[in-house]
Amino acid sequence: MLLEMKDICKDYPQGKEIVHILKHVDLAIEEGDYLAIMGPSGSGKTTLMNLIGCLDVPTSGEYLLNGENVAHASDNHLADVRNTTLGFVFQSFYLLPKLSARENVALPLLYAGVKKRARNRRAEEALQMVGLGDRMDFMPNQLSGGQQQRVAIARAMINKPKLLLADEPTGALDSTSGHQVMDLFDELNAKGTTIVLITHEPAVGARAKHLRRILDGELLAEGEGGVGDAW
Amino acid sequence: MFENIALAFQGIWGHKMRSFLTMLGIIIGIASIITIVSTIKGTNDQIKESLIGSGTNAVTVQLYQDDYPYTFSQWNPMPDNVLPITEETRQQLAEIENVEAVSLFSSRQYDYDIYYGNTSFSGELYGVDRDYFTATGYKLSYGRGFTDDDRAAFRKVAMLDTGAEAVLFGDVSAVGKVLEIGGEPFTIVGVVAKTRSSDFAIETIRDYQMYADTSGGKVFIPLEAWPIVYRFDEPQSVVLKARSTDDMTAIGQQAEDLLTANQISGTSDQGTFSYRSDDLMNQAAQIQEMSNATNNQLLWIAGISLLVGGIGVMNIMLVTVTERTREIGLKKAIGAKKRRVLGQFLTEAAALTSIGGIIGVAAGIALSRLISSVMGTPTAISYPAIGVAVVFSMIIGVIFGMIPAVKAANLNPIDALRRE
């Protein structure tokens, strides 16, 4: 089991009240899996994503990632986990505007302490893998949305993470670019990368191996909660 | 580290106008400090060189009775317990570190037994050895100096300094004229002048006491001829030529100790005798302190402008952190640790203030040169001050960059990414 969440709760104080964003979530993901999580806004899917991605820690519950309990790990250790075990793809790409495609992709290796020459070589390989071998020195504003998202995917994959997390990866893209990105995900999954993605587009969710819905902070079992032919 | 520095410079270059305005406080502060320090150093160097060293670095050590120089005269003979300075002591003096030349001499002030015709001479009379003119920085103006033959044959020859020449002869050449010293005729063979004269404006009594050499000038005769006029043939004072002005105090003290130990034995009912060196260094230090005290107040004011500059840097760094919240969030999400984010922003603040410091140093040097050429005051660039200024401006960056950098490092990646 790559990832195992047991009885995860997440509360946020809001004024004097305490809001329960996630209620007793259990989740297990095997290596090589491809899971889509769907839910309406406010359902807690982003919070769940942040917890899976070690960007946040749960209020209670156990979280084993790659055999290690990360529910109560230190900030520094979580940074290492995010750097080496996880890869992130965001809806709005989050490329640094003043760095070239190559430099953006190489950034996680900088934090991993890799030497400059090796960083550049590996960044070039990663960009070739996502089909942008001819755009290495382009700045983000010289690239289309789809190309930017592929640069972001190359950045997420550069440290060969066990788990790729994608938060609405096609949300800001036109359908053609969106398809290219989803094709890339299929390809990565076929090569063995475990993927968890959040979406509210049924067509995107349908391409995953498994689909689970989240509603009012509760993660529903597979197959539950589907509305008609929405997927 | 290099990445951080490169990033910092990119960030600064990316906002040229903003960065320059932010640096301005630091630039003004550092420039004023460099200007003030250069002026202080220029003034001090001038005081030191022309007053203490007189360009020659000669330290005179003479006999003191209690707290006053002991003046020899008919009524004030050599005290019983003071021994003549021997050749052996002279050797020991020459071996003191950084001493270039040692000269022994006898001298009389207020001795009215010198005449040229009917004119009496009221200056000083010196009996000098071979090294005296070298050690005190006199050079021959015209005529000739004392030769070994003069000394060996106890010839009655004399030399004048320009002061005595002016008093006794005016524009007429002094060489060949005969002076009457203690009833004996001495033939003038040459005139000497100071190699470097110190041009001081004498404005107060204190200045006068300090700078005025002698009123009536000096007459020199060979030390060997001294007993012809006076009974004593041993020198009573020493002049030492130091390698540099800074060595003068140390040399003076060592010579004092040596002479007091070697020459003075027991006590005398005439008072306490000791050898002491000119305390010019001390007097100059007092003048320097006075000018430093004024300038220190200026330094405090300049320090305040640095403080204001530092606050400006903090302000702009806080703005930068807010603007780059998403960048910070992303970096933390992909594995940047607190330490690294902290380092990045501290480096940027320090780079900003260091550049400001370097520009400030350049501006300060230019400004002090300008002031010097317009006002005619001396200026000297102090290299340690430049180093301190640049390092200090870097430290200002680190101190005032700390709060913004900590703020950046503690940003929660989720909140940071969500912020638009």
B-chain CB neighbours of A75 within 8 Å are 337-338
C-alpha angle B321-B326-B331 in degrees, rounded to nearest 5? 95
Specify whether the CB–CB gap between A29 and A35 falls below 8 A.
yes
Rounded Cα distance between B313 and B304, Å, is 14
- Determine contact: A160 vs chain B, CB below 8 A: no
One domain, residues B408 and B343: yes
Q: Give me A73's structure tokens.
A: 């790990």
Question: Given pLDDT bands bounded at 50, 70 and 90, which one contains residue B334?
Answer: very high
One domain, residues B143 and B244: yes
| Average pLDDT of the segment spanning A157-186 | 93
Domain boundary among B252, B278, B304: B278
One domain, residues B218 and B316: no
One domain, residues B268 and B366: no
DSSP string computed for B198-266: ------SHHHHHHH---SS-EEEEEGGGHHHHSS--S--EEEEEESSGGGHHHHHHHHHHHHHHHHB-S
One domain, residues B86 and B175: yes
Residue B202 has pLDDT above 50, yes or no: no
- Kindly determine whether residue B340 and residue A111, on different chains, have CB atoms separated by under 8 Å: yes
User: What pLDDT is recorded for position A230?
Assistant: 44
Three-state secondary structure call for residue B150: helix
- Kindly determine whether residue B335 and residue A88, on different chains, have CB atoms separated by under 8 Å: no
Structural domains counted in chain B: 2
B334: nearest CB among A56, A75, A88: A88
One domain, residues B388 and B247: no
Query: Cα-Cα-Cα-Cα dihedral of B41, B47, B50, B52, to 10°?
Result: -120
CA distances from residue B183 to A24, A213, A230, B156, B177 in whole angstroms, order as listed = 124, 129, 136, 12, 15
- Kindly determine whether residue B336 and residue A111, on different chains, have CB atoms separated by under 8 Å: yes
One domain, residues B211 and B258: yes
Let me know how many helices (H) and strands (E) chain B has, helices first: 14, 13
One domain, residues B28 and B62: no
One domain, residues B296 and B205: no
Residue B52 has pLDDT above 70, yes or no: no
One domain, residues B224 and B328: no
Sign of the CA dihedral with A200 first, then A201, A202, and A208 last: negative
B334: nearest CB among A50, A76, A82: A82
One domain, residues B253 and B333: no
One domain, residues B129 and B171: yes
Write the ipTM.
0.92
Size of interface A-B (CB pairs under 8 A): 50
- Determine contact: B45 vs chain A, CB below 8 A: no
Domains along the sequence of chain A with CATH: 1-78+162-223 (3.40.50.300), 99-160 (no CATH)
- Kindly determine whether residue A94 and residue B413, on different chains, have CB atoms separated by under 8 Å: no
User: What pLDDT is recorded for position B199?
Assistant: 46
- Kindly determine whether residue A112 and residue B335, on different chains, have CB atoms separated by under 8 Å: yes
Q: Give me B413's structure tokens.
A: 């990646």
| Average pLDDT of the segment spanning B128-133 | 88
Residue B284 has pLDDT above 80, yes or no: no
User: What pLDDT is recorded for position B420?
Assistant: 55
For residue range A24-82, what is the model confidence (pLDDT) as tens digits? 999 999 999 999 999 888 888 889 999 999 998 899 999 999 989 998 889 999 999 99
- Kindly determine whether residue A108 and residue B327, on different chains, have CB atoms separated by under 8 Å: no
Domain boundary among B246, B278, B310: B278
Domain boundary among B260, B278, B296: B278
Residue B285 has pLDDT above 60, yes or no: yes
Residue B343 has pLDDT above 50, yes or no: yes
Domain hosting residue B242, numbered range: 57-278
User: What pLDDT is recorded for position B216?
Assistant: 67
| Average pLDDT of the segment spanning B332-353 | 93
